[in-house]
Structure 1
Amino acid sequence: MRKRNMMRLLIACVSAATLAGCAALPGPACLPPSQPMLAAELAFGRNIGDRLGVSDAEFTRFTAEEITPRFPEGLTVVDGAGQWRDSERGAIVREKAKLVTLVFAEDPAKRAALSAIAEAYKQRFKQQAVMISVRPSCVSF
């Protein structure tokens, strides 16, 4: 009987240790000096209707007013060209774009800030969509 109880206790301890490891899975395995973070990319179309409508100056002002206050640690802006299907017209639209890359530690407030930035851009410049892509990344500065 005593041997059976010892065996049950041993099984319970092993099970508890195994399950505890499942509670918090590790992030990406980063080599030092890199740290696990999130990398977000936002793609902002610049057409309004069928013409370029968001100038470089307007995008710079948008960045200063909407993106920088939410991500003061820094960002990267790159000029691009893209295409997407306009859901209202069913047509392929090709347009100039601004790609913004942001890197941050996991934080629900930062994830919400990405959506707030996209909504502000759509309202200000009459856009249907802003692409947001977030992925785990190993980062060092």
Structure 2
Amino acid sequence: MRIHRSLLVAVLACQLAACASGPAPSVSSTLQGDAAHPAQTQAWVDTRLYFGLGPADHPEQGISEAQWRAFLDKEVSSRFPDGLSVIDVYGQWQGKQETSPERLHSKMLVIYYPDTSENRSKIEAIRVAWKQRTGDQSVLRVTQPADVSF
């Protein structure tokens, strides 16, 4: 019983010490003073691009991780250097001449940006560059309005 009381006294002392140190400093939940990453945005969009890298069951075929990163550096990061996300995904695609879907190891690229004609052109240039590099028929694009805060 004496150990339990000692533990209780120690816990209460620690809690009182935390209260005595005063309130935590005020911190904003958003990044401040960075024009590329505003605290509040207007007219921004979320674009997701889906890139098929090769057969899901045969990762040695198709585009390697090193080739993907080289493409990302050259074609994507050069156009959108302020930030992006890449997510490994599994996808299926059935081309016009196919009788069943292909199972694909894929990458989903997520980019948030101001919705301008210049940025839309950059997105299209990325899609064209991938199709030229790989011979793929398509790069799926999904774009929707986004309420963004950094």
TM-score, length of structure 1 as denominator length: 0.71
Question: Does residue 45 of the first structure (1) align with residue 55 of the second (2)?
Answer: no
Map of 2:138 onto structure 1: 129
CA deviations on 1:41-72 (whole Å, 9 max, x unpaired) are 00000127x95301111000000000011111
Aligned length: 108
Structure 1 or 2: more strand by fraction: 1
Unaligned runs of 5+ in 2: 1-38
- Higher gyration radius (CA): 2
C-alpha separation between the residues in 2 aligned to 1:136 and 1:68?
A: 22
Structure 2 residue corresponding to 1:103, chosen from 83, 105, 112: 112
What CA deviation, in whole Å up to 9, does each residue of 1:99-131 have, x standing for no partner? 000010111011011111011001101211100
The alignment-based identity, stated in percent, is 31
In the alignment, does 2:118 pair up with 1:118? no
Aligned to 2:98: 89
Q: In structure 1, which of residues 32, 35, 38 is the aligned counterpart of residue 41 of structure 2?
A: 35
Amino acid at match of 1:44: F
Letter matched to residue 97 of structure 2: E
Structure 2 Cα separation of the partners of residues 68 and 118 of structure 1: 14
Alignment partner, residue 25 of structure 1: none
Moved more, 86-95 or 128-137: 86-95
Residue of structure 1 in register with 2:12 after alignment: none
Query: Deviating runs (4+, > 6 A) in structure 1?
Result: none
How far apart in 1 are the matches of 2:111 and 2:122?
Answer: 11
Aligned partner of 1:63 in structure 2 is: 72
Q: Match for 1:127: what amino acid?
A: D
CA distance in 2, matches of 1:107, 1:96: 31
Counterpart CA distance in 2 for 1:69 and 1:90 is 38
Q: Distance between the aligned counterparts of 1:70 and 1:134, measured in 2?
A: 17
Q: Within 1, Cα distance between the matches of 2:124 and 2:97? A: 22
Structure 1 segments unaligned to the other structure (5+ residues):
1-32
